[in-house]
């Protein structure tokens, strides 16, 4: 039995090797098939790299030991509202980490402003966030790249590097007119690619009167001593009769924020690549049918010499898969070179503000692209392989 399988495998290797050596004779149809599959994979990986980059900008800035406090019933910061007394009670929740400014509870004011895009000049929504000193201990990944931090009580701003790259007038040293106020941009910051990089920050005590917000905030971010302290803190805050709040993990909040865009991108990507994939499969079918037709006599001769039909069929399938893998590798490489790291901004449908992010081509995306190419190669080679196996020997030997 073992000898039978070894002979069969040897037949497959020999026939497949012979088939691959004839590729230069069919370079036109082979190239069309490979480049067709490469195009599908490049589009597939490119579109999904948008989703990866967008989700990384949101979820990548989340921490397991950070909780968000919003008004009960609010789905986003835009629809939330908390007063100063609420913030004081929240800061006394159990399980909070402590920093140089006391409990690491960061009350934050969130407003939307319009700024022109650098690329088009059209106005777009940008997040304008007012914070207090604890914010820089809660948002630990944030640090100043250029310039300095804003001074409390002054009309000064620091700008995320994503926002500075996408919107005009946000250069360090320039003055920005927002409403009736003039603001000096004194610093540029980064936050490990997180959502904060799409925002403009200033002192909450200055932003509140500028937008007639009194002493209100939209949310409070809490740094927990450990992720396990979340449940105790949540129970404490939601059961306090002085409060009407909900408490969520920051990671869960951002995951929900990304759902609409993720579904849109995935739907678009799958639709486009499916349509293109149909064309690529027909290209593979044409290539492999041509190969089977051109080598009908050789295959019949091998069959007459004792090579099994299954070995011939598998050799055709393996050739088709080899071409698809070549196309998948080529398409993945092109997508990586063209898209990885490309920076842009798009609308976050939950907050109605622009999120700056970079396309991200991950190893898992490249693997998915090659798997998608394999599916196309398998379908494109299956029917020609079956034809090669079922081709009558006598008929094939008489073929011209």
Q: Is the pLDDT of residue 1 over 50?
A: no
**Residue 131 pLDDT:** 95
**Residue 275 pLDDT:** 81
| List of residues 6+ apart from 240 with CB closer than 8 A | 89
CA distances from 68 to 167, 217, 396 (A): 28, 13, 73
**Residue 242 pLDDT:** 92
Give mean pLDDT, residues 45-69: 84
Cα dihedral 309→313→314→318 (10° resolution): 150
DSSP-derived pairing of the beta strands 156-160 and 175-178: unpaired
Give mean pLDDT, residues 51-79: 85
Q: Where exactly are the structural domains of the chain?
A: 2-59+259-398, 73-243
Q: Which of 22-36, 131-145, 207-221, 354-368 has the lowest mean pLDDT?
A: 22-36
Q: Is the pLDDT of residue 119 over 90?
A: no
Write down the pTM of the prediction: 0.76
Q: Which of 45-59, 72-86, 172-186, 301-315 has the lowest mean pLDDT?
A: 301-315
**Residue 367 pLDDT:** 93
Of residues 377 and 297, the one with the higher pLDDT is 377
**Residue 136 pLDDT:** 92
Give CA–CA dist 50/52, Å, rounded. 5
The conformation of residue 128, written as its DSSP 8-state character, comes to E
DSSP-derived pairing of the beta strands 156-160 and 105-116: unpaired
Q: How confident is the model at residue 76 (pLDDT cuts 50, 70, 90)?
A: confident
Note the helical H segments in 104-203: 135-138, 161-166
Give CA–CA dist 115/166, Å, rounded. 10
Residue 162: both structure tokens together: 């994503």
Tens digits of per-residue pLDDT, 361-398?
A: 999 999 999 998 898 888 887 777 777 666 665 555 55
Tens digits of per-residue pLDDT, 146-183?
A: 999 999 999 999 999 999 999 998 999 999 988 778 99
Residue 60: both structure tokens together: 């990548």
**Residue 6 pLDDT:** 66
Maximum average pLDDT range among 56-60, 78-82, 381-385: 78-82
Please, are residues 287 and 26 in contact by the beta-carbon 8 Å criterion? yes
Note the helical H segments in 93-158: 135-138
Give mean pLDDT, residues 343-350: 75
Query: What percent of the chain clears pLDDT 70, i.e. is strictly above it?
Result: 83
Give mean pLDDT, residues 319-323: 83
């Amino acid at each position: 039995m073992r000898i039978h399988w070894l002979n069969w495998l040897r037949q497959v290797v020999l026939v497949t090797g012979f088939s691959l050596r004839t590729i230069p004779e069919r370079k036109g149809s082979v190239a069309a098939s490979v480049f067709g599959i490469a195009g599908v994979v490049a589009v597939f990986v490119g579109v999904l790299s948008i989703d990866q980059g967008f989700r990384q900008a949101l979820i990548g800035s989340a921490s397991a030991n950070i909780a968000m406090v919003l008004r009960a019933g609010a789905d986003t910061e835009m629809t939330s509202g908390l007063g100063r007394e609420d913030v004081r009670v929240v800061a006394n929740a159990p399980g909070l980490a402590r920093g140089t400014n006391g409990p690491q509870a960061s009350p934050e004011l969130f407003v939307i402003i319009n700024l022109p895009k650098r690329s088009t000049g059209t106005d777009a929504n940008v997040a304008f966030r007012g914070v207090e000193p604890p914010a820089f201990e809660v948002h630990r990944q944030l640090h100043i790249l250029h310039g300095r931090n804003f001074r409390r009580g002054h009309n000064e701003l620091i700008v995320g590097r994503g926002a500075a790259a996408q919107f005009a007038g946000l250069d360090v040293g320039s003055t920005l007119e927002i409403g009736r106020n003039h603001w000096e941009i004194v610093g540029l910051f980064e936050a490990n690619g997180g959502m904060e990089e799409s925002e403009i920050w200033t002192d909450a005590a200055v932003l509140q009167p500028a937008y007639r917000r009194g002493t209100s905030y939209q949310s409070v971010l809490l740094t927990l001593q450990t992720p396990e302290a979340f449940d105790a803190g949540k129970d404490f805050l939601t059961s306090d009769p002085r409060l009407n709040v909900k408490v969520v993990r920051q990671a869960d909040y951002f995951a929900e924020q990304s759902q609409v865009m993720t579904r849109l991108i995935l739907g678009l990507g799958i639709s486009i690549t499916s349509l293109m994939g149909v064309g690529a499969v027909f290209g593979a079918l044409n290539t492999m049918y041509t190969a089977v037709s051109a080598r009908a006599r050789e295959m019949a001769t091998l069959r007459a010499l004792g090579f099994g039909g299954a070995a011939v069929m598998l050799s055709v399938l393996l050739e088709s898969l080899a071409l698809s893998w070549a196309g998948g590798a080529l398409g993945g490489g092109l997508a990586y070179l063209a898209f990885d790291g490309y920076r842009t901004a798009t609308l976050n449908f939950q907050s109605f503000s622009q999120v700056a992010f970079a396309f991200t081509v991950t190893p898992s995306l490249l693997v998915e692209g090659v798997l998608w190419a394999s599916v196309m190669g398998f379908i494109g080679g299956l029917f020609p392989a079956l034809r090669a196996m079922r081709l009558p020997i006598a008929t094939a030997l008489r073929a011209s």
